[in-house]
Structure 1
Amino acid sequence: MQSNRSTQPPILTCIIPIDLRRRPKDIIARALFLAEQAKLNNVVLSFGLNFSGGYHERHFCERLGSFSNVKINKVRNNETINLSRLRNYAFQGVATEHTLLLDVDIYPDFELFLRGLTTIDYNNAGFCIYPCLYLSEKGSNNLISKRITPSNLLQRYFSFSRVEFLHLASPSSITLMKSDIYKYIGGFNELFFDHGYEDFDFLLRLCKTFGGLNNEKDLLVDLPSRSPLFAVGFRRHLGRFCFPQLLNKDILFHIYHAKKQMNDDFYYHNRHLNYTIFREMHSNGEALDEQGLLKTQLIDFIEFVVENKKSISDYSIFFENKPGHVDRFYSFKRKLRFLIHG
């Protein structure tokens, strides 16, 4: 199947932002793995690289530039991290009919994405948003070392194993769409700097334009939850677009990487400012509906499962909302460190 596919022109390009001021060796290794897997599936990778001419950036270009299915668009003199600009640069020159927003830390399942292009839901809306399961260090190590297959790892999640998993993001930023849609909504808004809300802004504009999402009164309620079915506000409204993928258990894996506390990491310094921009862009002029804190996806999802003649018991794990990560750490030293430092 792969050999036949490789003789055809590619139909999918994945756009990926890259900034090597954090975790350079790790990111380069993951980008190489993505490139290898993408080549096997006749998929194009287009990287938006924050480029200042440093050693790691030149090494990235040298290693990844050797792949025939890889494009690298350099963003020069970008002193701050602007993921939106990196995405938009990565999109420049996309020639395929379909585009996928991807992250370098996602374990690649290109068969899933290519299969998604054929679904009725995708062809009706022109886009598809995927849930993403964040793995613990143990789960990531087992997957990368091939001690467990992706399908068996997913089975462990649905069997309520916790040590391999942190939480399920639904929605995530991993979005499949027709390339014309990215152009039509103007790509990512480059007013957002560093990390935070640039992906939610993109998804809201996408779903308002092509998914029929209305400017609901509780849209700007901003409260994360461990379980996606307890999501409120914009996460609840966007999460409904993931219901077909949740029903089919089409879930991606996010590979673990250590990170600093949010207050100590420059990557998150503009998060509060980004939320202010986000609110201004999506406010309908009305006061924030705090009653939105009471409205979750629970009833919506149950009704969706029943309408599709599935058993709700097959999706029990989605209702699990236990807080904290301490039981995900598989050594006493790591548990102690988490309890002391958070």
Structure 2
Amino acid sequence: MNINQFQEHLIEYAASIGIDKIGFTSASPFHELKNRLIRQQELGFASGFEEPNIEKRTHPELLLSEAESIIAIAIAYPSKMKDAPSSIKGARRGIFARASWGMDYHTVLREKLALLELFILTHKPDARLRSMVDTGELSDRAVAERAGIGWSAKNCAIITPEFGSYVYLGEMITSIPFAPSEQMEDQCGDCRLCLDICPTGALIEGGQLNAQRCIAFITQTKTMVSDEFRAKIGNRIYGCDTCQTICPKNKGKANLHQEAFKPDQELVKPLLLPLLSMTNRSFKETFGHMSGAWRGKNPIQRNAIIALAHFKEASAVPTLIELMEKDTRPVIRGTAAWAIGKINTDDGLTALKKAEQTEEVEEVLDEIRKGLQFYILEK
């Protein structure tokens, strides 16, 4: 069969294995993206999680010398959760962002791309292929935009007419000259709801994000969270969905059809206190299949402490005191001390005064003093 016939055959196969959207684009360099990435680095807006080599991010031929085209895929994930458990006094809960619900999307999309590779090589044995999801060199969003999966929105997400912005993206560089898909026109118009509602002002302007201020990034860091952002995090223990939930294009997009991503309510909206006593092993056994677990338990536990402070959950104070006094991690001791002050109980005051006399790490001492300051402010 000729290339066009094979391309149609491939599109049908992709749908049969659960890929929600597929598009094609040339493997020519991403010149506009290159300029944007250079500007991001100059402004200090990059997260540091990205591939640092901008040439590799924008020149597919550096990743596959025979590159002719790129296949982009999208798989939708749910925006709604049935029977979500309530967060109540004495049983406070955190929340994982929707992009971490169900099975780790890296695993799911890699499996789909592997099936696509096998299908292609069965029909075109001489084809050269290279697939990637999220952690690869190419920008998933730039590829998806050029391949007609959706348009690049002001909130820096790809929005599809069918599934909104609740889609995971992946791509495959190929040596096959597939016909390019038609690109989609920007449909954001004058709307700027995502820019106006961003809790930390991380969305600088349409399509430009300061990742250093983005809650989705901050919840994945392993250091002490800056004072400026603690109140903004709320009960988020991984990621942030605010710029998606506000988007009119996401209205009515439930996307409940992908079994792999259906959430376990107790995992995506977990009780906060039990998180604080988890070992590395128990954390991995419980949450290891979720993408939100990729940084390990430390950031999740730190964020859980911030969430308990957000709720002013007095029942958590004994556990927080124990963490402040005995935990070996300065970030956890310090965050616990700050949270004790925010919750503001008599037992907490006694414990903070005692810890101030025994703590030796200056970073933690600073947090203890912040905690004590809350008691002064309350008077």
Q: Same fold (TM over 0.5)?
A: no
TM-score, normalised relative to structure 2? 0.24
TM-score, normalised relative to structure 1? 0.25
